[in-house]
């Protein structure tokens, strides 16, 4: 029996991010146009994995340059699935590293990057909400 996949590799994450950020459903050709470093041999297995994990779904089928192509979108369940993957990875890393180091890594930003400040504010709001029982 094959081992259940419990994470995404770099190319799968890249394909998922393209689909997630697309303004409309995308074909595999659209993905390769967005990320020219990806080819069919990288995109097709990534799509199969993302479909199997429930992160994406087939939106419809279209004719693209006389070829029948499926268009993909992110599923409604994807944010929860990604959260579960993150939590599982965090638990694994927590067994291997000091919790303080991991938490620091989560909120530390590179020089000039201000995204960590917004993340901290969001985290503070979540903690406050949790304390209030929401």
**φ, ψ of residue 115 in degrees (nearest 5):** -65, -30
Where are the domains positioned within the chain?
A: 10-74, 78-131
What's the pLDDT at 28? 94
- The Cα–Cα gap between 15 and 27 comes to 11
Mean pLDDT, to the nearest integer, of 63-80?
92
Whole-angstrom distance, CA of residue 39 vs CA of residue 119: 34
CA gap 20, 122 in Å, rounded: 21
Q: Which run of H or E residues covers position 72?
A: strand 67-74
The larger pLDDT score, comparing residue 41 to residue 127, is at: 41
Could you name the CATH architecture of 10-74? Orthogonal Bundle (1.10)
Per residue in 79-96, pLDDT tens?
A: 999 988 888 887 887 778
């Amino acid at each position: 029996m094959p081992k259940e996949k419990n994470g995404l590799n770099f190319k799968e994450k890249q394909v998922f991010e393209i689909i997630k950020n697309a303004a409309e459903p995308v074909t595999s050709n659209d993905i390769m146009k967005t990320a020219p470093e990806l080819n069919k041999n990288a995109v097709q297995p990534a799509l199969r994995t993302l479909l199997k994990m429930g992160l994406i779904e087939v939106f419809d089928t279209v004719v693209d340059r006389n070829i029948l192509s499926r268009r993909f979108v992110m599923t409604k369940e994807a944010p929860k699935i990604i959260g579960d993957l993150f939590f599982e990875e965090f638990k694994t890393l927590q067994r291997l590293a000091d919790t303080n180091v991991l938490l620091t890594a989560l909120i530390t930003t590179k020089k000039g990057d201000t995204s960590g400040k917004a993340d901290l504010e969001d985290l503070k709001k979540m903690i406050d909400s949790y304390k209030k029982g929401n």
